[in-house]
Amino acid sequence: MSSEHVVATLDTGPMTDLATAYQAALQGQWDSVLGLPETSWLDVKSSIYALDQAGPRAELCKDVAAMANGQGGLLLVGLRTELVEGREIISELKPVPQRLVDPGRHRKILMEQVRPPVRELHTEWVPCGEDSGVLVMHIPPQRSTDKPFVVPAADPKGREGVAVPVRSGDDTSWLKPAELQRLLALGWSSSNGTPRPSATATADQTTAARMVQLVPLDTPWIKHLRNGGPFHRVPAAVSDAVHDAAEALSGEVLRFRDPELAAATEYFTNAVHELSNVFGGLHTPLDGPLTYFEVPPEWKRTDPGRYYETLKENSRAAKSVLDAYQDWVNKLNEKGLLT
């Protein structure tokens, strides 16, 4: 894309806010995004975050936390920019290979390492072809009482600490020590070193009791998942129980006040939703009693690629639920909310 075209698109484009740009990205309307300048709420990357390496993992957390410390933002992996009159302008769609991108893993790392966890963070894959697409990360505006969002940092001797990333224009930097000290002093002074009000703990006890009622510890469908895959056949009772749990968790109006519990519950809820969708794609058997759903066995002969890919997806979604469930239960136990 030429610089002249970029500037013309910039002057006339309608994308001026986070919500509009997010919807355009989800719908793959990249022509509406091309020509926009990077801003405090819009950032693009032309290459993936290599999450197997510590550096890129830290960079991902820095980029997301910086937007959370501002007014929220949209991070798109799969587009490139060019410098036009001193500004970085989104100039080209450059989809990244799907095999290298796991939206769930991005979100898990962010929920584990950014503190407090970013509320309602979404990581979604938008395909742009058979094997490539764009990773869309949406960071909605966060409550001022949750800020600042911090990420892990280490001093020259390797001792653990935290740092506060901030976004200014199209640049991400670190909060200066003097400003960080001022913010910490304000918070320290207002709290007087006292613990959280007991009302918070009481509210979380009520929420925990309600959540465990919705998904009892070691409920039968969780036990079934622990038996392992490849989930080519799922009992109707298990599938129905997963659907019911997804609906119940999504419809629950109670929320944990403790940010770690809130994040773990959101992670678990999303994983159950995904498994519900996966099980919803299974088929009823052509013959025999309707007591289970299955991956059509004839696919193994007529379309083996589809057959084994479906088995892989079933197992992956089940493992995601088990991992999220274990983390959720551990968090409840750590907070003393399991009786």
Contacts of 22 (CB under 8 A, 6+ apart): 74, 136, 138
What is the dihedral sign for C-alpha 199, 200, 203, 209? negative
Answer for the pair 293, 278: CB distance below 8 angstroms, yes or no: no
What is the dihedral sign for C-alpha 199, 201, 205, 210? positive
Q: What pLDDT is recorded for position 13? A: 42
Strands (E), 144-258: 151-154, 160-163, 165-168, 171-174, 233-235
Concatenated DSSP letters of 185-204: HHHHHHHTTPPPPHHHHHHH
**Amino acid, single-letter form, for residue 113:** Q
Q: pLDDT by residue for the chain (339 residues), tens digit each? A: 333 333 333 333 445 688 899 999 999 999 999 999 999 999 999 999 999 999 999 999 999 999 999 889 999 999 999 999 888 999 999 999 999 999 999 999 999 999 999 999 999 999 998 899 999 999 999 888 888 899 988 666 667 778 899 888 888 888 877 777 776 666 555 544 444 445 667 788 888 888 988 898 879 999 999 988 789 999 999 999 999 999 988 887 778 888 888 888 989 999 999 999 999 999 988 776 678 999 999 999 999 999 999 999 999 999 999 999 999 998 888 888 876
Q: Which two tokens stand for residue 10?
A: 């910039």
Q: How many residues does the chain have?
A: 339
Of 278, 230, 264, whose CA–CA distance to 108 is shortest?
264
Strands (E), 78-187: 79-84, 87-93, 96-97, 122-127, 132-139, 151-154, 160-163, 165-168, 171-174
Q: What pLDDT is recorded for position 8? A: 35
Distance, CA of 128 to CA of 117 (rounded, Å): 30
Distance, CA of 314 to CA of 305 (rounded, Å): 14
CATH number for 3-178: choose from 3.30.950, 3.20.14, 2.30.30, 3.30.499: 3.30.950
How far, in Å, are 89, 108, 161, 165 from residue 113 at the CA level? 30, 9, 12, 13
pLDDT tens profile 53-107:
999 999 999 999 999 998 899 999 999 999 998 889 999 999 999 999 999 999 9
Answer for the pair 172, 165: CB distance below 8 angstroms, yes or no: yes
Q: Which two tokens stand for residue 173?
A: 């930097």
Q: What pLDDT is recorded for position 2? A: 38
Q: What pLDDT is recorded for position 180? A: 73
Q: What pLDDT is recorded for position 25? A: 95
Distance, CA of 25 to CA of 39 (rounded, Å): 16
